[in-house]
Structure 1
Amino acid sequence: MNTSAPALDVRNVGKTYHLWPSPASRLWGPLLYRMSGWTRWFPALSQRLLAGAQARLHTHRALEGVSFSLERGEALGIIGLNGSGKSTLLQIIAGVLPATTGTVVANGRIAALLELGSGFNPELTGRENVRINAAILGITPAQLRERLDDIIAFADIGEYIDEPVKTYSSGMALRLAFAVQVHIDPDILIVDEALAVGDAAFQAKAMARMEQILARGTTLLFVGHDLNVLRAFCQRGILLEEGRVTAQGLPEDVIEQYLFQVHAKASAAAAADAPVRTDQGFASPDGAILRATLRDGVRNIALRHGDPVDVDVELFADPAIGAAACIVDVLDRRGVPVSGRRVRLPPRSGEGRLQFRIRFQALLQRGAYRVRLRLVDAPGMENARVLARHDGGLSFEVVDDCREEFTGLFPLPASVEFAEAPVQAEGG
């Protein structure tokens, strides 16, 4: 294994499926295609036969031109709407599906948590299936003897381990399959929505096991809709849309664009135009506009700990949207939200334009921070639709080193009281 090479290198991967509308088309399509070659000396006839073959063949491009590289110990999250090609990409990387175009080079053992339990024989016991799965994954009998007890304990299905898998509930089979995969010490771990297996206690145990695996330097490729897992484990994110990579970068930035995509899809039925990108960020079909600068029109400032930060905001939102709000987030250099404020907009009349200034104190540790704004229609905390967002590079830098006063990112209000400990007499 080449330790200097990337753990995973994906280059220009594409996947095209050939679809036939009927069994007869599957027969006649290739036959007409071959006949068009046989009759190439008669161009008119050859073209008609070729057109007949193409009329019977439909193609679907699940992936097109996907490229990325993962270093050892790096964690990458892939998100996207249903049908964007996420699972297809993972199956190609895991070797389950062949790619139509492009190459995938993996340096190290791959463990793929895809269709958990799909390889189990229902007539065999759980213990027997563990042995078979371990052998398929390249675990030697000696290695399995060392890990078998840990696998069984992790699955926590009790005496059912010696019962046929056909007697298991779906959750028991998933837990056993997950236990096998996470105990083979993979170099590259591929996870497709597999962290939602079992009850809350097992999920907590699965998350803890994931942290142990990553701490050993395992490379992680995660796909799913659980954005909190993406934030917790991944250093980078990729957004797939209709089989193409449309965004790469910090997880929070990719998540933000994904959420906008979700909201745009939800409102597509009521809007004829698709969302368009503007210089300030994204404007929705509602025509909402959001612009912002720091005080005096600047975009970047340096300041002392505790100095005020003023953000001047100009926006437009349809006055008929009664639950409009502007969310102002402060992000660290990795894109992780540090804090923020949700500003509910007052009733608007006329054109629906509004200006306001929000001020907060930079009670933060030394470092650079970014300001991001979102204009949302939010009737409830869990029900928000992004109308527009501004991520145009507003930032500030705190120049003071305040580690003598507090640790972490911001101070924690606390009181400290000292008292002398009583002197204990000898022999007491």
Structure 2
Amino acid sequence: MVSGFLSLLETVGDMSLLLIQQYFPFMKKCTLFLPPTERTKQEVSVNSIKGIQVTNSTIEECMEFFLTFDISTSDEGGSLELESVNGVVKCQMSETWRHTYTPQFNTLSLHWYSKNLQQEILWAMLISPEVFEFKNIEALKSTVRLRENIVRNACKTALTFETEKAKRPHEFWRYEEEKGFILQPHVSLIDALIKTTQPGPTEEHFDFSCYRATEYVILLSIAQEAVVYNPDLFHRLQNRWRTRDIRSAQFHKTFLNEYGSQNKPLPKQFFIPGDRIWFKNPHEPSSNVEGYEGSWVFYIGGGLFSNFWKQDKAYTEPFTLDMKCIYIYHWRDGLQYSSDGKHWVEEEVVKSQISQTLHCSSKRECILNKMMRIQDPKDIFREGGCLDRTREVPKQIHPSCCELNV
């Protein structure tokens, strides 16, 4: 069923995910999307709601905006709370609502109650333990659209996992050692990114590492928002990629904001659709294999995390949180060594071990108890699991408050 869902996403273009749910009612019923486990319910939260703050607006304007997404101050089981303090409208769901629908800030089951992706995004933001600040309502609208773009593009992305080489469609890109992959003359940035990351059923899948793949999805999503709502930024982005790319640490610094912190980690099961997340491999020997240090993914809502690798991997569907943890755990079982000292992870062994784990509830629970811990700091391998302390999201790009400097 999930394969069918992804196939439909590849063919419908910009059709809303709400319409997709009409074709696939299992999205709200399938066992892939179970409510929080007893393990989650037993955790004690020390966080409080910070939600959304909007300046240059009024309570009435904010209320009108949220009503567009059927979020109101009179919902059953709790409500939206709006308060104006010193010219800032503070917006959040009530504690009663949060305890009912997102216990311990667990947002993985919000899709059970939400009517569409936009509502799921806003609900998660409205119960966030980290504040999201906007200079006006238009900036908030832009952020929601941008997160939608990321989810849509992440669902459509299909690539080949490769860390030692890279390949792009030559009609759109050319490679220069110092400049990276840059656009061919007169080529559209959006067209090039779509062609590279979203191949048709019979088209070639291009080579990417997971980190570089997330960069392309983020860049495409920003470009799609900018071309409509901030054309000047779009042209600057496109012109930049005609001369030199932006990647790795520079990409993170230029395009992304990080929320949560090393000292105050986010709740372990708090995710907003469109977040980029790092799952660490806590097993040091297998983490030394290039490409298996961990995994960069997006939270795509519905209790699922992106999976770009539609072939040649042990698991090829979007991940639930449990499956992501189990998959990374079994990398250690796939670790292989050759006589000349080379090492790699054999995906067929990983696949076999996953199957055994899924048929043994006690083994599954033991693995999840180990992996569902906040990860140790970089280069430390002790008692930590694979869960990230922070989340990453694109900077705001609405013209009234654009944070990008390109």
TM-score, scaled relative to structure 1 = 0.24
As a proportion of its length, which structure holds more strand?
A: 1
In terms of Rg, which structure is larger?
A: 1
Higher relative contact order (CA 8 A, sep 6+): 2
TM-score, scaled relative to structure 2 = 0.25
As a proportion of its length, which structure holds more helix?
A: 2
